[in-house]
């Protein structure tokens, strides 16, 4: 673990001053503009997905950590990144809805002028919190549904709740303007059946179902080698049937999304093993303990919590800017090297 040090400087700005000042943009050594922050608010997850936490959450003795970033620390973090030109912040976990103050985190993130505030969730508490999240200003929600078969969903996640989750999604679509994306891990034995189900689901619903290539971590090697497959069959099936790839927005994630005139929804593909996947990276990550990850699969993280704890926005900004020259050009997944990632729950993917 590395700790960043900077020369202390007075903060000297009000919480809203950045809204009226010219914004700079974080640019790394490969001329990539980094305007998208993925902030993990907890690494704890209640699901037991076979590709991530098949034995459940085992870190910290299986108990939720007590050293997660506080609301005040998150406020400092968001203010600093907003002043650096961040236009999108995604709140991730583990499972972020585990935190009882997630609604407050959404609201404070939106209050700093962040254009797009998103949450990634397993949907376990969607019905309970949907209204509050919407009122707080949530713009986008990503949910994990690895299968539309209830029994297979239970087998993958450890929870028999797919019908409830699908009902909560229909409520979201009927009653809010939150943009919804659904993610599914691409596995060799379920990929085609899941594609057909996703197409049927997206036929009449304004959702994007995204297939994510299975990524190897140090904890899932056996399953990875048994189940990994690339997205070529999915992509070819779509293109042969008239689906067209869309141009990606500047603050969008890494998915290529396809649309079809006969469908209300879209299908997306995320392929981290593609040759040029990292060329357009626009993302930084911060863990729930205040460590900056320059790449999901980097071999190091950089501790900025001292600035968050002291409310030092200026120090935080300088520390993050000083990291830009060392953001790696690409990951090393092709070399079976996932860096610090034992599992994706550590920092929300």
d(CA 109, CA 118): 10
Tokens of residue 279, six digits? 């060329």
pLDDT for 217 equals: 56
Identify the helix (H) or strand (E) that includes residue 144. strand 140-144
**Whole-prediction pTM value?**
0.86
Residue 13: pLDDT band with limits 50, 70, 90: very low
* Residues in Cβ contact with 166 at an 8 Å cutoff, skipping those fewer than 6 apart: none
**Among the residues of 254-331, which ranges form H helices?**
305-310, 313-323
Residue 43: pLDDT band with limits 50, 70, 90: very high
CATH number for 24-346 (one of 2.60.40.10, 3.20.20.70, 3.10.20.30, 1.10.10.1100): it is 3.20.20.70
- Residue 289 · residue 302 · CB < 8 Å: no
302-303 and 2-3 as β-strands: parallel, antiparallel, unpaired? parallel
Q: What is the pLDDT of residues 170-229, one digit of tens each?
A: 999 999 999 999 999 887 778 888 999 999 999 999 999 999 886 655 454 444 434 556
Integer-rounded Cα radius of gyration of the chain: 20
d(CA 349, CA 344): 5
Average pLDDT, the chain: 85
Q: What percent of the chain has pLDDT over 90?
A: 64
d(CA 40, CA 97): 11
Of 292, 283, 273, 279, the closest CA to residue 336 belongs to 273
Residue 121 CB burial class (10 angstroms; 0-12, 13-18, ≥19): buried
50 vs 100: which has the higher pLDDT: 100
Residue 168: pLDDT over 90: yes
Residue 7: pLDDT over 50: no
pLDDT for 248 equals: 83
Q: What is the pLDDT of residues 284-308, one digit of tens each?
A: 999 999 999 998 867 788 999 999 9
Residue 82: pLDDT band with limits 50, 70, 90: very high
Residue 314, SS3? helix
């Amino acid at each position: 673990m590395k700790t960043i040090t900077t020369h202390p400087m007075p903060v000297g700005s009000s919480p809203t001053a950045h809204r009226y000042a010219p914004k700079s943009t974080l640019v790394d050594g490969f001329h990539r503009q980094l305007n998208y922050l993925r902030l993990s608010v907890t690494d704890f997850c209640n699901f037991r997905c076979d590709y991530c936490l098949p034995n459940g959450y085992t870190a910290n003795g299986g108990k939720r950590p007590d050293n997660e970033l506080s609301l005040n620390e998150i406020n400092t973090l968001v203010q600093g990144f907003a002043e650096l030109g961040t236009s999108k912040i995604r709140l991730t976990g583990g499972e972020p809805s585990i935190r009882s103050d997630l609604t407050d985190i959404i609201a404070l993130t939106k209050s700093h002028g962040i254009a797009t505030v998103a949450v990634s969730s397993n949907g376990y508490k969607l019905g309970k919190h949907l209204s509050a999240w919407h009122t707080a200003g949530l713009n986008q929600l990503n949910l994990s549904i690895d299968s539309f078969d209830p029994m297979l969903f239970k087998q993958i996640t450890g929870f028999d709740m797919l019908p409830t989750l699908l009902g909560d999604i229909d409520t979201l679509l009927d009653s809010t303007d939150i943009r919804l994306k659904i993610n599914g891990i691409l596995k060799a034995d379920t990929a085609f059946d899941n594609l057909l189900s996703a197409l049927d689901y997206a036929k009449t619903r304004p959702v994007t179902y995204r297939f994510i290539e299975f990524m190897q971590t140090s904890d899932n090697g056996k399953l990875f080698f048994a189940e990994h497959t690339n997205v070529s069959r999915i992509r070819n099936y779509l293109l042969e049937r008239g689906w067209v790839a869309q141009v990606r927005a500047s603050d969008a994630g890494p998915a290529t999304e396809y649309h079809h005139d006969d469908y209300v929804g879209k299908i997306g593909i995320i392929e981290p093993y593609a040759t040029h996947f990292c060329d357009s990276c626009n993302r930084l990550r911060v863990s729930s303990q205040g460590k900056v990850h320059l790449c999901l699969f980097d071999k190091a993280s950089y501790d900025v919590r001292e600035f968050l704890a002291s409310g030092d926005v200026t120090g935080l900004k300088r520390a993050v800017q000083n990291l830009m020259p060392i953001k790696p050009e690409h990951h090393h997944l092709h070399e079976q090297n996932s860096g610090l990632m034992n599992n994706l729950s550590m920092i929300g993917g």
